[in-house]
Amino acid sequence: MQLILGISCFYHDSAACLLRDGNIIAAAQQERFSRIKHDAGFPADAIRYCLAEAGVSLADISAIVYYDKPLLKFERLLETFLAHAPRGFAAFVRAMPVWLKEKLYLKAVLRRELRLLAPDSKAPLPRLLFSQHHQAHAASAFYPSPFQQAVVICLDGVGEWVTSSIWLGQGNSLTPLHEIHFPHSLGLLYSAFTQYCGFKVNSGEYKLMGLAPYGEPRYVDIIYRELIDVKADGSFSLNMRYFDYPVGQRMINRRFEALFGGPALAFDAPPQQLHLDLACSVQQVVEQVVLKIVRAATAATGCSKVCLAGGVALNCVVNGRLLAEQACEALWIQPAAGDAGGALGAALLAWHQFYQQPRQADGQHDSMQGAQLGPAFTDADIVAELDARQLPYQQLAADHKNDQIATLLASGAVVGCFQGRMEFGPRALGNRSILADARSSEMQRLLNLKIKQRESFRPFAPAVMAEHAAQYFDLSQPSPYMLLVAQLSAAQRLAITQHSQGLAQREQLRSTLPAITHVDYSARLQTVDQQQQPAFYALLQAFYRLTGTPVLINTSFNVRGEPPVCTPADAIEGFLATDMDYLLLENCLLSKAEQPAAAIAAARQRQFTPD
pLDDT in tens, 579-607: 999 999 999 999 999 999 999 999 988 87
19, 69: one domain: yes
Q: Tell me which H or E stretch contains 568.
A: helix 568-577
Residue 34 confidence (pLDDT): 97
- The crossing angle, in degrees rounded to 10, of helices 70-83 and 88-101 is 160
Tally the domains of the chain.
3
Domain identity same for 389 and 346 = no
Please check whether residues 58 and 204 belong to one and the same domain.
no
- State the average pLDDT over residues 68-85: 72
What is the predicted pLDDT for the residue at 88? 61
3-state secondary structure of 60: helix
For residues 509-513, average pLDDT = 89
Is 372 inside a domain boundary?
Answer: no
Which residues are paired to 179 by β-bridges? 165
Arithmetic mean of pLDDT, 70-88: 69
Average pLDDT over residues 391-406: 97
Residues 419, 297 share a domain: no
Query: Does position 492 have pLDDT exceeding 60, yes or no?
Result: yes
Beta bridge partners of 63: 4, 127
What pTM was computed for the model? 0.94
Do residues 447 and 476 share a domain? yes
Residue 147 located in a structural domain: no
Cis preceding-peptide flag for 335 (omega within 30 of 0)? no
Q: Is the Cβ–Cβ distance between 572 and 391 less than 8 Å?
A: yes
Range of the domain at 206: 153-333
Local confidence band at 247 (pLDDT 50, 70, 90 cut-offs): confident
Same-domain status, 491 and 578? yes
Q: Is residue 558 part of a domain?
A: yes
Residues 442-454: pLDDT tens digits?
898 888 887 877 7
Between 582 and 160, the higher pLDDT residue: 582
* Residue from 81, 78, 73, 72 nearest 247 by CA: 81
Amino acid at 474: D
Does 54 fall in a domain?
yes
Give the range among 33-37, 117-121, 326-330 with minimum mean pLDDT.
117-121
Query: 295 and 181 in one domain?
Result: yes
The answer to whether residues 566 and 525 belong to one domain is yes
pLDDT at 229: 98
pLDDT surpassing 70 at residue 371: yes
Domain with residue 236: its CATH number is 3.30.420.40
DSSP state of 273: H
pLDDT of residue 84: 67
Instruction: Report which residue type is found at 450.
Output: K
Q: Are 6 and 344 in contact (CB under 8 A)?
A: yes
User: Closest Cα partner for 375 from 30, 22, 7, 108?
Assistant: 30
User: CB burial class (10 A; 0-12, 13-18, 19+) of residue 565?
Assistant: buried
Residue 233 pLDDT exceeds 80: yes
> Can you give the CATH number for the domain in which 442 is found?
3.90.870.20
Query: With 0-12 CB in 10 A as exposed, 13-18 as middle and 19+ as buried, what is 324?
Result: middle
Distant-in-sequence, close-in-space partners of 203: CB < 8 Å, separation ≥ 6: 37, 38
Same structural domain, 317 and 344: no
Note whether 395 and 538 are same-domain residues: yes
Cα–Cα dist 551/549, whole Å: 6
Buried b / exposed e over 104-141, threshold 16 CB at 10 Å, is bebeebbeebbeebeeeeeeebbeebbbbbbbbbbbbb
pLDDT of res. 23: 98
Express as a percent the part of the chain with pLDDT over 90: 81
Residue 370 lies in a domain: no
Residue 96 domain flag: yes
Question: Does residue 276 carry a pLDDT above 80?
Answer: yes
| Mean pLDDT of the 469-492 span | 96
Q: What is the pLDDT of residues 129-158, one digit of tens each?
A: 999 999 999 999 999 999 999 999 999 999
Question: Is residue 148 domain-resident?
Answer: no
Lowest-confidence region among 215-219, 245-249, 540-544? 245-249
SS3 45: helix
In angstroms, rounded to a whole number, what is the distance separating the alpha carbons of residues 264 and 201? 13
Q: What is the mean pLDDT of residues 68-93?
A: 69
For 213, 292, 412, the CA distances from 406, given in Å and listed in that order, are: 32, 44, 10
Terminal Cα-to-Cα distance of the chain (whole angstroms): 45
Same domain, yes or no, for 440 and 558? yes
- Smallest CA-to-CA distance from 68 within 25, 121, 128, 123 is with 128
Contacts of 535 (CB under 8 A, 6+ apart): 419, 420, 430, 431
Is pLDDT above 70 for 92? no
Name the region of 528 (left: φ>0; alpha: ψ -120 to 50; beta: rest).
Answer: beta
Angle of the 186-196 helix axis to the 273-301 helix axis, nearest 10? 170
Average pLDDT of the chain? 93
Can you give the pLDDT at residue 175? 97
pLDDT tens profile 512-562: 999 999 999 999 999 999 999 999 999 999 999 999 999 999 999 998 889
Nearest-CA neighbor of 49 among 566, 571, 570, 587? 566
Do 129 and 255 reside in the same domain of the chain?
no
In a domain, 597, yes or no: yes
pLDDT at 381 exceeding the cut of 50: yes
